[in-house]
């Protein structure tokens, strides 16, 4: 029995002490999806080991450089897909949008004689306009995004055929457009880029820690921060070394990483990004908090279609042509599967833009490895579909684990 002084504030309730071992805690976090990046890195290591055993040319500098070029278009499209998934929505039109916008760029540049810069800008703006239209229709009429973008998938393929006309294929020869994926930097420039990137990451990491300490907030231990910087530096140095062993650091890879960094900052450090997570986590709570649900949804679909257009232009640059199958085949599947495999939840509110890059690397590695082994297309589709299904099952299990522990 205890007594309390009249008028004194009540004693806070006893807090439950987590007595689980560090190993058990790590296992619990892994099951709940909090260590998604670790899971993806392990998956990449396993995939690379398997394909290297099957074909010794998989981990050569030439093939890894080709892998970077192959995942650029899918990774850029996936950046926009991540934003849509964070809302708990889906966009099935990104593949068709990428093909249509690439066709607009190609026709304006090749047939109409436009400046390559204006042609690229027109293609990107066309994607933005498509996203505005689809987002508005879905939000204003209350139609599920699945239905609107499914209709868009069919309609934009029709517009692609209309834009290309009777020719069917438009070959791209402009050096500005082809240079997007055909430009490689020298060894010296590659090492300078690596040094600047490592210094920027380390500076921002330590600066952020100091800001949190000054504000009286919890900050990560200095030792763990140093380990993180060392690991990132090692990864960057290894990547540049491999790329320099072939043709050098490709401009396409820098474009992909640049967009990932920009959107990661936007989602993690800005009010707009916090609103995306809020809407995806609980729409009604976000509405009561004063967030404009309509503006967020429309803006996200605009960004998703814009990134689809950029991805389509990069794909056209690499293939040196746009044809009636641009944006078709398995592009949509890969763009959605990548982020999901890397840990972005299909239920909304969980995930980061980094999953676009990591997921593209996972899916791209599988596709690249199967190409080296000369497997049939049927096998490739089956394997990719199985990987996506496994990722969705893992996401559902993690969601149930969080629900069981009272976490959102």
pTM: 0.88
Report which listed range, 16-20, 310-314, 323-327, 344-348, is most confident. Answer: 310-314
Helix (H) or strand (E) holding 321: strand 321-323
Q: What is the mean pLDDT of residues 136-146?
A: 94
Mean pLDDT of the chain: 87
Residue 406 binned pLDDT confidence (cut-offs 50, 70, 90): low
Provide long-range contacts, Cβ within 8 A and 24+ apart, for 62-66: 62/246, 63/368, 63/372, 64/242, 64/243, 64/246, 65/242, 65/243, 65/246, 65/247, 65/250, 66/368
Q: Which two tokens stand for residue 306?
A: 């814009």
User: Which pLDDT score, from 0 to 100, does residue 2 have?
Assistant: 45
Residues 6+ apart with CB under 8 A from 66: 368
CATH code at 173? 1.10.3470
* The Cα angle at residue 209 between residues 206 and 214, in degrees rounded to 5: 125
Give me the pLDDT at residue 15, please. Answer: 40
- Is residue 17, in this structure, part of any structural domain at all? no
> Cα torsion at 342, 100, 309, 71 (round to 10°)?
40
Domain that holds residue 358: 54-186+248-404
The confidence score (pLDDT) of residue 73 equals 95
Give the separation between CA 341 and CA 28, rounded to whole angstroms.
19
Count of Cβ atoms closer than 10 Å to residue 326 Cβ: 27
CA distance 258 to 272: 19
Residue 298 placed within a domain? yes
For residue 220, what are the contacts with CB-CB under 8 A and spacing of at least 6?
209
C-alpha Rg value of the chain to the nearest Å: 23
Using the predicted structure, report yes or no on whether residue 5 has a pLDDT greater than 50: no
226 found inside a domain: no
In a domain, 289, yes or no: yes
Q: Which residues contact 128 (CB under 8 A, 6 or more apart)?
A: 302, 305, 306, 309
Let me know if residue 329 belongs to a domain.
Answer: yes
Closest CA to 72 of 243, 317, 280, 263: 317
CA-to-CA distance for 294 and 301, rounded, in angstroms?
11
pLDDT band for position 35 (cuts 50, 70, 90)? low
344 pLDDT more than 90: no
* Overall average pLDDT of the 161-178 stretch: 91
* Whether pLDDT at 114 is above 50: yes
Domains in the chain: how many in total?
1
Position 391 pLDDT exceeds 90:
no
User: What band does 168 get if pLDDT is binned at 50, 70 and 90?
Assistant: confident
Is a pLDDT exceeding 60 seen at residue 34? no
The one-character DSSP state at 111 is I
Residue 31 has pLDDT above 60, yes or no: no
Distances from the Cα of 320 to the Cα of 162, 183, 312, angstroms: 20, 14, 12
- Per-residue pLDDT of 233-242, as tens digits, reads 999 999 999 9
Buried/exposed 34-72: b ≥16 CB within 10 Å, e otherwise = bbbeebbbebbeebbeebeeebeebeeeebbbbbbbbbb
Bridge-partner residues for 184, per DSSP?
250
Q: Is residue 207 part of a domain?
A: no
CB crowding 217-249: b at 16 or more within 10 Å, else e: eeeeeeeebeeebeeebeebeebbebbbebbbb
Region of poorest pLDDT, from 76-80, 148-152, 209-213: 209-213
Q: Which of 101-110, 289-298, 346-355 has the lowest mean pLDDT?
A: 346-355
Q: For residue 26, what pLDDT band results from cuts at 50, 70 and 90?
A: very low
Confidence band of 166 (pLDDT split at 50, 70, 90) = confident
Predicted local confidence at residue 6, as pLDDT: 47
> Which token pair is 20?
């689980």
Domain assignment of residue 21, yes or no: no
Percent of the chain with pLDDT over 70: 90
Residue 275 lies in a domain: yes
User: How far apart, in whole angstroms, are the C-alpha atoms of residue 196 and residue 70?
Assistant: 25
Distance of CA 250 to the CA centre of its chain: 19
């Amino acid at each position: 029995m205890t007594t309390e002084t009249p008028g004194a504030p009540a004693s806070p309730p006893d807090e439950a002490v987590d007595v689980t071992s560090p190993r058990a805690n790590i296992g619990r976090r892994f099951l709940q999806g909090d260590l998604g990046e670790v899971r993806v890195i392990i998956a990449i290591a396993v995939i690379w080991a398997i394909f290297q055993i099957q074909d010794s040319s998989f981990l050569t500098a030439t093939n890894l450089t080709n892998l970077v070029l192959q995942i650029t278009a899918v990774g850029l499209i996936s950046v926009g897909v991540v934003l849509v998934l964070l809302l708990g929505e889906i966009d099935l039109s990104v593949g068709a949008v990428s093909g249509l916008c690439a066709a607009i760029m190609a026709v304006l540049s090749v047939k109409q004689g436009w400046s390559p810069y204006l042609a690229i800008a027109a293609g990107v703006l066309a994607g933005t306009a498509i996203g505005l239209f689809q987002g508005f229709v879905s939000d204003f009429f209350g139609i599920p995004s699945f239905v609107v973008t499914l209709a868009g998938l069919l309609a934009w393929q029709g517009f692609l055929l209309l834009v290309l006309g009777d020719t069917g294929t438009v070959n791209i020869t402009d050096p500005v457009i082809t240079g997007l994926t055909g430009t490689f930097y020298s060894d010296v420039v590659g090492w300078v880029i690596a040094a600047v990137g490592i210094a920027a990451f380390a500076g921002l990491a330590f600066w952020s820690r100091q800001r949190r300490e000054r504000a009286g907030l919890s900050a990560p231990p200095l030792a763990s921060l140093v380990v993180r910087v060392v690991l990132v530096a090692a990864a960057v140095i290894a990547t540049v070394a491999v790329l320099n062993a072939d043709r050098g650091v490709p401009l396409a890879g820098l474009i992909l990483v640049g967009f990932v960094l920009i959107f990661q900052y936007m989602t993690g450090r800005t009010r707009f990004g916090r609103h995306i997570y809020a809407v995806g986590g609980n729409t009604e709570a976000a509405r009561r908090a004063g967030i404009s649900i309509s503006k967020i949804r429309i803006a996200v679909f605009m960004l998703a279609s814009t990134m689809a257009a950029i991805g389509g232009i990069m794909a056209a640059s690499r293939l040196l042509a746009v044809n009636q199958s641009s944006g078709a085949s398995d592009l949509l599947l890969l763009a959605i599967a990548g982020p999901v495999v890397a840990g972005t939840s299909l239920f909304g509110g969980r995930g980061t833009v980094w999953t676009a890059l990591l997921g593209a690397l996972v899916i791209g590695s599988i596709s690249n490895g199967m190409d080296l082994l000369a497997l049939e297309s049927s096998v490739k589709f089956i394997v990719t579909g199985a990987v996506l299904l496994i990722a969705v099952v893992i996401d559902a299990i993690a969601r149930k684990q969080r629900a069981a522990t009272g976490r959102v």
